[in-house]
Amino acid sequence: MASSSEPNRDSAAAAGSESNGALASSIPAAVPERRKVALVAGITGQDGSYLTEFLLGKGYEVHGLIRRSSNFNTARLDHIYVDPHNSSKARMKLHYADLSDASSLRRWVDSLLPDEVYNLAAQSHVAVSFEIPDYTADVVGTGALRLLEAVRSSSASSGRTIRYYQAGSSEMFGSTPPPQSETSAFHPRSPYAAAKVAAHWYTVNYREAYGLFACNGILFNHESPRRGENFVTRKITRAVGRIHVGLQTKLFLGNLSAARDWGFAGDYVEAMWLMLQQDEPGDYVVATDESHTVQEFLEAAFGYVGLDWKDHVVIDKRYFRPAEVDSLKGDSSKARKQLGWKPKVGFQELVKMMVDRDVELAKREKVLVDAGYIDAQQQP
């Protein structure tokens, strides 16, 4: 509680202002520095969650675009979510939109006026893209075009520079021999990969035609404990956890000789951000520059918990692709030189990180199974 004498400080301040006259009035009041604003399409995915953590750590205000679903699909963001009613603490906010709906994209770009836009949204499962090719092409390819146009139109009308990141994929190289770099030819072998190639060239075109600060990140396979369970690496580590605690005995897989350049998703989002901090836009391969087969991943994952993968893995032809991609291995020398980026997590550490998480998850699941709350018979 202020004492009766304390208001004299205000009086003195007022008198001082009067005595200084024009000098005092010419000093502008301090204006809080505006936070950088990022708009993330695909924020609920693996990469979106890691990128959001990274940007919040950099002091950004982050807005994410999510599709409407009858179930909440924000589990990867729950640990950083703050109710928007707590406006002083909520620096991540979610908005309904869809890459198939141009009007929703333009509305949010116009109203939020972001400094940076990250397009991580996609139907990103290669095998599924063979089953729903039209949808994949629309969301992955044309969806990127819709978002680029929203950024271009908003930039033109507002006079502000908006920097745009397009998530590319090593799948775009397809059957091109490794190592693959920014100058390697694209030879996509799936509807998903073909759509990503289209999105890549749309991004290049908008950069060249309109001067948009637009970058393509050609990311090789990047995994984490947050990877979707229907992707091969997480399918393996999830099975390892369940087999380890006795909830499962078999794991069904396809081509074990396919080789991939696997890195940690948490490392790769830093490269995305670094691309948008450069003086000039460009395209970059992001990779570990190492390649391992699915069989090597199996050996590392099962061996970590003392199991032999050969006792549990069954080859199922339904998991072979109509057009296989045999070997992907990146050459990320440009990113390492120009961005100063390099991966921190190696292959063995990545596998152990994922297995540790899925063993803990399986242990929790077993408690519920033993108590009769859930049925563990999904897998043989």
Q: Which residues are catalytic?
A: 169, 171, 192
Residues 6 or more apart whose CB falls under 8 angstroms from that of 12 comprise: none
CA end-to-end distance (rounded Å), the chain:
70
CB 166 within 8 A of CB 146: no
Which of 251-281 are b and which e, b meaning 16 or more Cβ less than 10 Å from the residue's Cβ?
Answer: bebbbeebbbbbbbbbbbbbbbbbbbeeeeb
Residues 6 or more apart whose CB falls under 8 angstroms from that of 181 comprise: 285, 330, 331, 333, 334
* Full DSSP string of 143-193: HHHHHHHHHHHHHHHH----EEEEEEEGGGTTTSPSSB-TTSPP---SHHH
R_g of the chain, CA atoms, integer Å: 25
Residues 6 or more apart whose CB falls under 8 angstroms from that of 364 comprise: none
**SS3 at position 99:** coil
* Full DSSP string of 215-270: EEEEEPPEE-TTS-TTSHHHHHHHHHHHHHTTS---EEES-SS-EE--EEHHHHHH
CB 56 within 8 A of CB 81: no
Which of 25-43 are b and which e, b meaning 16 or more Cβ less than 10 Å from the residue's Cβ?
Answer: eeeeeeeeeeeebbbbbbb
Beta strand 163-169 pairing with 214-219:
parallel
CB 47 within 8 A of CB 40: no
Residues 6 or more apart whose CB falls under 8 angstroms from that of 271 comprise: 217, 219, 284, 286, 335, 339, 341
What whole-number distance in Å separates Cα of residue 343 and Cα of residue 270? Answer: 10
